[in-house]
Structure 1
């Protein structure tokens, strides 16, 4: 094997030591320059001008201020205000409570819930009596959670919704 055959397989633009040393030095210089630039960038990100108008306590408080407020409405205040028994179980209140809490399942029969107005489905439940219906509505039964999933409802509100629902089934 001759020297010429061995060199033919390695075609490199750098043939002597001087360009090789120059390329290595430039590569190291570029790497150092990149590290310095990145460290400057990162250190400038962390520094905060405390005299900036954006950093005043008023500006910070304005940025942290809540966007909105939450308000809770009373769903059946008649029972809590000492009204006469049965006043809270009016048709209008029962309808509103039913529509807000019960109609999602009892309107379409989801999870085996008897549909509103289906006399055949409600007949065995009506035979058990209203007290049994009230108890299962307040405590939950089968897939139905207690108070239709709204534990904030008063028992009188649940009874009003049951009365409304039973009125549809009669």
Structure 2
């Protein structure tokens, strides 16, 4: 590894660790998440079938549209998020049980869910 090649990664981790966790989701955040739907019909169908149940409820999955829930995850970068979505992580099953989701679909769903509303 090049000298100082680790600096950007260390800085990102430090910023994520020092960032305020933010308030936990409020009832309004859950109501907003429940009403979210991607504009693209095919993506919306995948969202409804594979993502919505876990990402709109009071569970371990990050709440869709709630920036504080996604901030530490986004700090890890899109490659890590894609890998975890593809392979599964903690309570998330591989591909979020979306067998027909391509990597591009997964990235678009991550983008949709992680965008603050």
Question: Structure 1 length normalisation: TM-score?
Answer: 0.41
* Structure 2 equivalent of residue 134 of structure 1: 82
Q: Which structure is richer in relative contact order (CA contacts within 8 A, separation 6 or more)?
A: 2
Task: Number of aligned residue pairs: give it.
Answer: 79
Structure 1: where are the runs of 5+ without partners? 1-89
Residue by residue over 1:73-103, the C-alpha shift from the partner in whole angstroms, topping out at 9 and shown as x without a partner, is xxxxxxxxxxxxxxxxx95143332222101
Task: Name the structure where helix makes up a greater proportion of residues.
Answer: 1
* Structure 2 equivalent of residue 125 of structure 1: 73
* Structure 1 equivalent of residue 44 of structure 2: 95
SS class of match (2:83): helix
Residue by residue over 1:91-148, the C-alpha shift from the partner in whole angstroms, topping out at 9 and shown as x without a partner, is 51433322221010001133x1111112111110011112211111111110100110
| Misfit runs of 4+, over 3 Å | 93-96
Structure 2: where are the runs of 5+ without partners? 1-37
Question: Structure 2 length normalisation: TM-score?
Answer: 0.58
Instruction: Tell me how large the CA RMSD over aligned residues is.
Output: 2.0
Structure 1 residue 116 corresponds to structure 2 residue 64: yes
